[in-house]
Amino acid sequence: MVLPDQHPGPTEWGESRVGVGPWEVEHPGQPLPTDPRFDAALLAEGDRRNVVDAYRYWTREAIVADIDTRRHDLHVAIENFEHDANIGTVVRTANAFAVNTVHIVGRRRWNRRGAMVTDRYQHLLHHPDVDTLLQWAKEQGLTVVAIDNTPGSVPLETAELPERCLLLFGQEGPGVTEAARSGALMTCSIAQFGSTRSINAGVAAGIAMHAWIRQHADISQAW
């Protein structure tokens, strides 16, 4: 497993309205922390990153290590054959739910803007095609569940999702490929009641991840 690239993102290009200033300003008269999890530059300059307050002034590596102690047995995969702009949103939501790993299937490059720098704290893994992903999931003992509104699908609202699960999403428009549906234990649909044919792929991913959280996560551990 590797950490994502080091390039700055939208919330780290300039001053943000969130976060804290230098330690000596926020905690006047108090000595600087000696805990190795704290970053000397952030303590001196302030921390305006898109992280929860519990991680203020921590190094990126320390934050990832802490989340690793609480990551869920949930994996998320999204097919990326047309540079889907929703992938960044999927990564951001996966980070919020402490998903184990986000799997990018197809094109390696993806639009990171929607991730709001959360990809720095989220494990990512690339697979060249669906067959490779399915084989990896089998080796890891993960049950694959596709999410798509197709005939014969199981309503997500009543489905019992496996605890060791990989939720597989298609991209905006074409949805999940036939290869993905064939390799999944089942395909779950999200109930809709209006006129639109489909829900935005990033939104659908968030709904499905939260369905797993409701069934399997320890809510007492949430921030």
Residues 82, 61 within the same domain? no
For the chain, what is the domain count?
2
Q: What phi and psi values does residue 180 have, to the nearest 5 degrees?
A: -70, -45
Residue 21 makes CB contacts below 8 A (sequence gap 6+) with 46
For 165, the enclosing helix (H) or strand (E) is strand 165-169
In a domain, 200, yes or no: yes
pLDDT (0 to 100) of residue 174: 76
93 φψ region: left (φ > 0), alpha (ψ -120 to 50), beta (else):
alpha
User: Tokens 């993102």 — which residue?
Assistant: 9
Based on the fold, state whether residues 185 and 117 are members of the same structural domain.
Answer: yes
Ranges of the chain with pLDDT below 70: 1-17, 81, 83-84
Check whether residue 43 and residue 125 sit in a common domain: no
Per the prediction, the chain carries an average pLDDT of: 91
Distance in angstroms (rounded) separating the CA atoms of residues 187 and 169: 10
Domain boundary (40, 66, 92) is at 66
Domain hosting residue 58, numbered range? 26-66
One domain, residues 76 and 104: yes
Q: Are 55 and 97 found together in one domain?
A: no
Could you say which of 9, 35, 66 is where a domain stops? 66
Choose the final residue of a domain: 66, 87, 117.
66
> Based on the domain organization, do 185 and 206 belong to the same domain?
yes
> What is the per-residue pLDDT for 7?
45
Q: What is the pLDDT of residue 66?
A: 98
CATH of the domain at 124: 3.40.1280.10
In sequence order, the β-bridge partners of residue 80 are 106
Same domain, 158 and 208: yes
Judged by DSSP in three states, 102 sits in strand
Kindly state whether residues 78 and 174 are assigned to the same domain.
Answer: yes
Q: In this predicted structure, what is the pLDDT of residue 132?
A: 97
Return the bridge partners of 75, or none. Answer: 101, 166
Does residue 105 sit within a domain? yes
What pLDDT, on a 0 to 100 scale, did the predictor assign at position 175? 81
197 & 150 share domain: yes
| DSSP annotation of 220 | G
115-153 per-position pLDDT tens digit: 999 999 999 999 999 999 999 999 999 999 999 998 999
Q: What is the pLDDT of residue 13?
A: 41
169 lies in the same domain as 214: yes
pTM score over 0.85: yes
Residue 101 contacts residue 124 (beta carbons within 8 Å): yes
User: What's the CA dihedral at 137, 143, 148, 152 to 10 degrees?
Assistant: 130
